[in-house]
Amino acid sequence: MSDSVNEQPLAGQLALVTGASRGIGAATARALAAAGAHVILTARDAKALEAVEAEIHGAGGQATIAPLDLAEPDGIARLATAIANRWNALDILVINAAILPTLTATSQIEPQAFTRAITVNVLATQALLAAFDPLLRRSDKARVIGLTSAVARQPRAFWGAYGSTKAAFEVLLDCYGLEVEKISRIRVAILDPGATRTQMRARAYPGEDPNTVKMPEVVANRLVALLGEDFPTGHRERLTGNR
């Protein structure tokens, strides 16, 4: 195998990353591009997306931005149509975007904030799977990776709103994986990044020293490495430690 193939194992592949404007999403987009993929970056903040795109292009990678609010009706369907008009298949779908509602007692969850979290964390996940399923099926080796949280499986006081949406998120991904594994080459995995230095983490743990938790690049590098492995649908892993 040539050095160029080793250096860019994802060359020729198309990847879509949600929540790609900062944190784990931005780091993942950069890592995917460094591995040779053409990365479609989506998030609400167009200026932040442009900055990530510029970094990727500056490093010699390929990226296209697609500003999108996942809560916007029909936005995901329009994005899928636009991508299908330009590319034949989608090889990698990384579902990273999520909303963390205010941490509060279950009896005091604010309905409007909870509804938006359900919309982005759950309903948008189903919409992404539905809209991109045809493009994923056209890939020779499609991979879907969802970023989750430990509170999806280990309930924690005051985390009811976020934890319940991530639990539903995991069920949707698991069910989709089981439905397509025998009739397509799509494989689905769930990755729990563990404690990571992100804005969401800072909001949840305002007194924490950010230097005590891992950088988003650690998660991104593991995600790209996972794409090179022959993992089965249903694969789950949690990153621990800071490296």
Annotated catalytic residue: which of 162, 165, 169, 216? 162
pLDDT at 6: 63
d(Cα 176, Cα 195) in Å, to the nearest integer? 27
Query: For residue 73, how many other CB atoms are within 10 A of its CB?
Result: 10
Instruction: Find where tokens 């903040």 sit.
Output: 45
Side by side, the strands of the sheet bearing 143-147 are: 62-65, 38-42, 14-18, 92-95, 143-147, 187-192, 235-238
Q: Could you tell me if 32 and 64 are in contact, meaning their C-beta atoms sit under 8 angstroms apart?
A: no
Task: Quote the tokens at residue 149.
Answer: 């949280």
1-55 residue pLDDT tens = 444 456 899 999 999 999 999 999 999 999 999 999 999 999 999 999 999 999 9
Model pTM score: 0.95
Per-residue pLDDT tens over the stretch 89-112: 999 999 999 999 999 999 999 999
Q: What is the pLDDT of residues 193-243, one digit of tens each?
A: 999 999 999 999 999 999 999 999 999 999 999 999 999 999 999 998 765
Annotated catalytic residue 162:
yes
Backbone angles phi, psi at 78, to 5 degrees: -65, -40
Each residue's pLDDT tens digit, 128-181: 999 999 999 999 999 999 999 999 999 999 999 999 999 999 999 999 999 999
pLDDT at res. 243? 58
Top-tier CATH class for 3-238: alpha beta
Domain extent listing, the chain: 3-238
Question: What's the farthest any 2 CA atoms get from each other in the chain?
Answer: 59
